[in-house]
Structure 1
């Protein structure tokens, strides 16, 4: 029976790609400084029966893995290079989601497929298997099931937020829990120094005020969001004024400028 020497095992561990390595490779291949995401994923536009976007399902369903996977799929597919699709071995999908860290190979592969299948059930992607290969294709971010196209910002339906690729390549995604990641998208959806009153969270986004406050607090503690006090004159308030907080993304989460192509030498 062949055995693996300890030094050989150590060497394999050193050269084996991590989840962050894999995410970086996917983002490098998509050649995008920023990842566009329609704002309707976070919150529906005014005028409908509800302002809740598909993001609500991830938060109320406590599906952090699914949310991280979905954002990575948007990053991988939104360049349109392969018709809004991307294909990887199920082991690679598992590594993208860090499932391999707590499961054996087969369990990790199964976990990856279940996560992708769950996203398909929310009408955000389609996915199909061929052997161990899984192909994922983007659908519209609003959960309508319509085909995906790249948002251009020209209409209200096509307004979008941007997540810098460095969010993943520097590992900032690894420090966020579900409330923080959800609120990161909420803050990124709005202009700098906007207010996000917790008492409006159930109506506007579909989750609790407590979840809302915990997410904002975590983002501030991690240095991803800045907070300032805002004082407003209020003649009918007991003190004659009210105080609230406004938030904006720090430089770490601001969209990056795309590098200009270097002219080819003649």
Structure 2
């Protein structure tokens, strides 16, 4: 029988997205939540200024650097053998940071490195190193207050060591790709506060360091994305014409609340008589 040979089909490598890469990083860490010190958002009561390092990202409208810092925290949420350091090829970092969108491979790698340099030089939140001629970039997490001090895992025992938990679904479900600077800043702010907190816009400049307009735009975007919930609340105001005033209160939507770590199911206990 005559045999025919067909053409060898073109085999193309799969396309791996930034979300795929972020998901792989989080799955490797096996943590349902990523801890972030609250001082990144706001300094403790009694501090000379209540502003946290987050203010600088908002002021510069630097979404790429803010998202990069949060994914570095996620990468380093479990201590590595060489400290709180994560090392990847610059192409992997480029995917993690989404710098490869509409860019050449080299441009994407360079953009990732420059982003880490901003986090290091402008914010003192990481230390990044790259050996001459190497494509590997090592990023070491520093303390979230921008002091440049070494990072330690927060335990919540002191006001300066209190932390919020960002659920891994923030990245794996792609919510990090939908937020802008104001909404990401307000998401971290709502996460820092107790459920059903009031967030008056006129207090934003003093409490957080950004404008009332930024504050309101951030909250509105979060409501549109259904990442927070809002309710009206009436407060007694004896000197007002109606005797009360209405304010809004906010809390994280269920999809953004910290996840409980899954526990192994306990084996069933037999109720049969012994020896049955």
Report TM bin, short chain.
Answer: over 0.9
Larger Rg: 2
How far apart in 2 are the matches of 1:99 and 1:148? Answer: 26
Residue matched to 1:17? 16
Does residue 94 of structure 2 align to residue 94 of structure 1? yes
How far apart in 2 are the matches of 1:8 and 1:61? Answer: 46
Helix, strand or coil: the match of 2:42?
coil
How far apart in 2 are the matches of 1:49 and 1:153? Answer: 21
Residue matched to 2:72? 73
**Matching of residues 182-261 of structure 1 within 5 Å:** 182-261=185-264
Closer/same/farther in 2, CA of residues 192 and 127 from structure 1, 3 Å limit: same
Helix, strand or coil: the match of 1:100?
coil
**How big is the shift at 1:100?**
0.6
Residue matched to 2:62? 63
What is the total number of aligned residue pairs between the two structures?
A: 255
Closer/same/farther in 2, CA of residues 262 and 136 from structure 1, 3 Å limit: farther
**How big is the shift at 1:81?**
2.6
Q: Give every structure 1 segment of 4 or more consecutive aligned residues whose post-TM-superposition deviation is greater than 6 Å.
A: none
- Could you report, residue by residue, the CA deviation over 1:83-132 in whole angstroms, capped at 9, with x for unpaired residues? 11100111111111111112101111110000001001111010000211
TM-score, length-scaled by structure 2 = 0.89
TM-score, length-scaled by structure 1 = 0.93
Residue matched to 1:3? none
- Could you report, residue by residue, the CA deviation over 1:198-252 in whole angstroms, capped at 9, with x for unpaired residues? 0110111111100000100111111110000010111112322111100000110
Residue matched to 2:127? 126
- Could you report, residue by residue, the CA deviation over 1:55-86 in whole angstroms, capped at 9, with x for unpaired residues? 00100011000000000000000211331110
- Could you report, residue by residue, the CA deviation over 1:12-58 in whole angstroms, capped at 9, with x for unpaired residues? 3xx12110000001111111110000000000011122100000010
After superposition, the CA RMSD in angstroms is 1.5
Residue matched to 1:85? 85
Range moving further from structure 2, 185-194 or 44-53: 44-53
Structure 1: segments with no counterpart, 5+ residues:
1-6
Structure 2: segments with no counterpart, 5+ residues:
1-8, 267-276
Helix, strand or coil: the match of 1:21?
helix
How far apart in 2 are the matches of 1:31 and 1:221? Answer: 30
**Matching of residues 159-198 of structure 1 within 5 Å:** 159-198=162-201
Closer/same/farther in 2, CA of residues 233 and 262 from structure 1, 3 Å limit: closer
Helix, strand or coil: the match of 1:101?
coil
